[in-house]
Structure 1
């Protein structure tokens, strides 16, 4: 699909049709945290969805963060139901690689997770992240509440100002509601990939520019 031209998102009509049920199961527990990957999650926890390039290294960033209860990787933002990895990599599903983060908001704020998100990749690169090129590597935040949406938009504006001052271009990150954009879990071998393969590939790298959000928390 991409060959010698810029990657393009397929329209819903062009996207692969997918399937009504997944063809692979979700593993039961997180290999690092020991917590269940599938919901429903314990009361009081919240869900956040972030796309910042190859989800192998991205997931590790979040499972290492304080207050994160579990993480899992999958595909989101496209049109194909229950896609597999090869289909997503074809560029014909419209999905991007996503990390779902289940967190305790009394231990880590959503703003702090946004700060980690922005600082862990270069959000100005469009359909690529470093050497990884394709629509599945685009940057995105899929929000689960109005509060998350407002925080994500505010953080994008704040980070744009400091990136511009450091010589970077326009942020291409999409901030959209998770509603209507289902999260489809990835194959078991992708879950906690860098724990299972410590010497495995990680293409995640930030700009080195600090994001001015989530630095100071207000409790209560």
Structure 2
């Protein structure tokens, strides 16, 4: 019964009253990006825009985005739950409500938001609900945190189009990706930032479907 209860707890979001209390002060993180050298928390130059994605384990997800031309800086963090300034150990209990997410700061004159959405959908399985493959938990859920109405519109079109592509490819799953207004983003601990640059043999955790995002 204990193991069943733990599994259920990880796949059901907690109520606010059940969430861990967290702390008022931010946890310590890295000051700069380990690959590009930019300040992790900004300030960011005028004209740069922000996108935020949750697609399972943030190690592999962050590496996808920092490699893209036009991406200025990326960061791993936690968002979408109730616990202020959580630690990794708290998030993986499932009792914060947060998802592992990636912040992407990009230059829209070089790379568009739709291009980021394409990377997002092609590189994980958005039909998995509260998991990615063997990584089970609410903190591995698929989610897009939008910063304005334009991102909401583009994300909704992209989700609809990718669902059609999955059906056409014979993939029977229904997309469970949430599209939500961007909540506060809590930076993860320093050792989680750009983890796969520091630990090239680490697991990415990404479980793509193999279905390409439709073009045109």
TM-score normalised according to structure 1 size: 0.92
DSSP-derived class of the 2:18 partner? coil
2:159 is aligned to: 156
Residues paired across the two proteins, number: 211
Aligned-pair CA distance for 1:40: 2.2
Gaps of 5+ in 2: none
Residue 25 of structure 1 is aligned with which of 25, 28, 47?
28
Distance 1:111 1:64 in 2: 16
More helix by share: 2
Task: Tell me which residue corresponds to 1:144.
Answer: 147
Q: 1:97 is paired with a residue of what secondary structure? A: strand
- Once residues 90 and 165 of structure 1 are traced to their aligned partners in structure 2, the CA distance between those partners, rounded to angstroms, is 37
Partners of 1:40 and 1:172 in 2: CA distance: 33
Residues 14-44 of structure 1: per-residue CA shift (max 9 Å, x gap): 111111112x322111111111111221110
Q: CA deviation at 1:9?
A: 0.2
Aligned to 2:16, the other structure's residue is in SS state: coil
Aligned to 1:12: 16
Q: Which residue of 2 aligns with 1:171?
A: 175
How far apart are the structure 1 equivalents of 2:56 and 2:28? 23
Which among 101, 119, 134 is matched to residue 131 of structure 1? 134
Q: Report deviation, 1:205.
A: 2.7
TM normalised by structure 2 equals 0.94
Match of 2:91 in 1: 88
CA RMSD between the two structures: 1.3
Q: Secondary structure, in 3 states, of the residue corresponding to 1:59?
A: helix
The whole-number CA distance in structure 1 between the counterparts of 2:194 and 2:83 is 24
What's the offset of the Cα at 1:4? 4.3
Residue from 49, 65, 70 that aligns with 2:52: 49
Alignment partner of 1:117 is 2:117:
no
| Residues 1:101 and 2:104 aligned together | yes
Kept in 2, the 8 Å contact 1:126–1:172? The answer is: yes
Measured in 2, the distance between the counterparts of 1:111 and 1:98 equals: 18
Structure 1 residue 115: Cα displacement: 0.2
